[in-house]
């Protein structure tokens, strides 16, 4: 079943992890950019100039980096604390 499309004009949508995976698999099949989920607020959007990540190259290779959709989200809690929570969740 094809997941319903999230229109490009919709910004920072909140969806669960399973739906995010389905969306990204469908987007890859259509050649569209994948969605990223903010580790702080949970909003999903394509990677843009406001986004940043926190972690080491080893974290990047393991897929355990903390992603932030804005400077406001990154300022809410230290990046190291968010990254530790992501590492523990795996």
Kindly report, residue by residue over 40-79, the tens digit of the pLDDT. 999 999 999 999 999 999 888 888 899 999 999 999 999 9
CB 21 within 8 A of CB 49: no
- What pLDDT sits at residue 5? 62
Cα(10)–Cα(63) distance, rounded to whole angstroms? 26
Structure tokens at 80: 């190291």
| Distance separating the N- and C-terminal Cα atoms of the chain | 28
Tell whether the model's pLDDT for residue 6 goes beyond 80: no
- What pLDDT sits at residue 7? 59
Work out the average pLDDT over 5-20. 73
Phi first, then psi: give them for residue 65, nearest 5 degrees.
Answer: -80, 155
pTM confidence score: 0.80
Per 3-state DSSP, the chain is made up of helix, strand and coil in percentages (nearest 5) of 40, 15, 45
Q: Average model confidence (pLDDT) for the chain?
A: 86
């Amino acid at each position: 079943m094809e997941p319903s499309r999230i229109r490009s004009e919709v910004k920072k949508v909140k969806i669960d992890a399973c739906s995010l995976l389905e969306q990204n698999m469908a987007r890859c099949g259509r050649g569209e950019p994948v969605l990223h989920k903010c580790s702080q607020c949970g909003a999903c959007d394509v990677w843009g100039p406001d986004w940043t990540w926190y972690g080491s190259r080893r974290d990047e290779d393991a897929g355990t980096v903390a992603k932030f959709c804005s400077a406001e989200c990154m300022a809410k809690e230290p990046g190291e604390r968010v990254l530790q929570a992501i590492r523990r969740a795996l």
